[in-house]
Amino acid sequence: MKSVLERFLRYVSYDTMSRENAGQTPSTGGQLVLAMDLADELREMGLEGVAVSEYGYVTATLPANTEESLPVIGLIAHLDTSFEMSGKDVHPRIIENYDGADILLNEELDIWLKTAEFPDIRKYMGDTLITTDGTTLLGGDDKAGIAEIITALEILIEGPSRLHGTIRIAFTPDEEIGEGTDHFDVEAFAADYAYTVDGGPAGELTYENFNAAKAIVEIKGRNSHPGDAKNKMVNSILIGQEFNSMLPPAEVPQMTADYEGYFHLMSFSGTTEETRMAYLIRDFEIEGFNDRKELFQDIADDLNEKYGDGTVLILMDDQYNNMREKIMPVFHIVEKARSAIDAAGLTTVVKPIRGGTDGARLSFMGLPCPNLFTGAENVHGRFEFVPLSSMESAVEVLLRLLTV
């Protein structure tokens, strides 16, 4: 039987970084390579109906081993890693019996994981930690989830005394770019409910997430020779700065937490003639979400009045909504997860997702889908780490969740 650590280390060796605006699913070829290999692994383990769709979705079934009438439970994780930092040529470091000190990730480049910057790491003194070498992300989001799901399935297959109902599995592409459920066939998946295994520290359980939109601000200026620019030049870069200054300065990711929403300026590029800004808009409450979107348009209207019609154009798309609306009518699935976490000897931490998961969109597609922890921390960057005990605890929680 393979350990969860062995699987995880193998999966992070695949470069599966997704790419925005690729015009195809999956957005990168590495995701399909991992999908095919995972399908082979599931077949070798004895799962039924293993398939990889034309879009790179891996699905499989572990049939029930009891005649008791039980709900069909789905487990879902995603293949891709964040586009914000490279996941190519990942070189994991394994630190046994962590002593609570700063960790030297890369001696040659003098990269340290410092406890002063990431104090939560000291909670794992004595544990085995898997870190990066400081040059890439690690890929715990969500390859830790994949490793935990497959390890739990293998334990169930090799231990038939653990009675369980039918279990459906799906590994999805392109979750990180918000396209993970674009081609997900909920009807064919045929689960009564599911759990994404895509969360953070051990014990975390989430069933609320942001309402989310992406906004592009396009600004048109007018250039002229700077030596003769008075009353002629309209500098689109300065208008872009003015636009951003009209947003609440404290409502940004680095100054908000818990249920506080934000505006996140992701990119800003331009010339005197043209400037383009990309924002994320986030709020847990639908009223606040709508107010934030209206504020964007109000600012654009004010600037157009000041500089002329057509100066500022807002292009906005909703991305996903708070799954709480769809989870509350079937709240027993949250309680079931809470009981499994408590039974595994962990403290259940119910907190909102300050982001989104495939489960958010799936819940609105008819498949209620809370989110379970993987143990991964500091994801999407070079200081990512995963405690081994957290991954092992995730496997234990899944076993308690799935068995009678």
Per-residue pLDDT tens digits for 212-259: 999 999 999 999 999 999 999 999 999 999 999 999 999 999 999 999
CA distance 395 to 346: 13
The pLDDT-based confidence of 160 (bands split at 50, 70, 90) is confident
- Asked whether residue 54 carries a pLDDT value surpassing 90, the answer given is yes
Among 15, 41, 80, 392, the active-site one is: 80
Q: What is the pLDDT at residue 355?
A: 79
Q: What is the set of domains in the chain, with CATH numbers?
A: 4-209+322-402 (3.40.630.10), 211-320 (3.30.70.360)
Report how far residue 50's alpha carbon sits from residue 17's, in angstroms, rounded to the nearest whole number.
24
Q: Does residue 84 have a pLDDT over 80?
A: yes
Alpha-carbon gap, residue 16 to 4, rounded angstroms: 19
Catalytic residue among 175, 198, 204, 208: 175
117 is catalytic: no
Would you place residue 315 in the very low, low, confident or very high pLDDT band (cuts 50, 70, 90)? very high
Q: Is the pLDDT of residue 1 over 80?
A: no
Give me the pLDDT at residue 21, please.
86
Give mean pLDDT, residues 73-87. Answer: 95
State the pLDDT confidence band at 198, using cuts at 50, 70 and 90. Answer: very high
Mean pLDDT across 369-382: 96
pLDDT value at position 2? 82
pLDDT digits (tens, 9 = 90+) for 321-332: 999 999 999 999
Establish whether 80 is a catalytic residue: yes
- For the cut 90, the answer to whether the pLDDT of residue 20 exceeds it is no
Which helix (H) or strand (E) segment holds residue 186: the answer is helix 186-189
Threshold 0.75, pTM exceeds: yes
Residue 117 has pLDDT above 70, yes or no: yes
Whether the CB-CB separation of 28 and 17 falls below 8 Å is answered with: yes
CA distance 383 to 221: 40
Query: What is the predicted pLDDT for the residue at 321?
Result: 92
Q: What are phi and psi of 283, to 5 degrees?
A: -160, 140
Which residues fall within 8 angstroms of residue 79, CB to CB, at 6 or more apart?
A: 16, 26, 31, 34, 35, 38, 56, 58, 142, 146, 171, 172, 173, 175
Tell me the pLDDT band of 200, cut-offs 50, 70 and 90.
very high
CB atoms within 10 A of CB 246: 15
User: What's the rounded Cα separation, in Å, for the pair 153 and 370?
Assistant: 19
Report whether pLDDT(356) > 80: no
Reading the block at residue 286, the tokens are 């639908």
Rounded-to-10 torsion of CA 40, 43, 44, 48: 170
Place of tokens 């000897």: 345
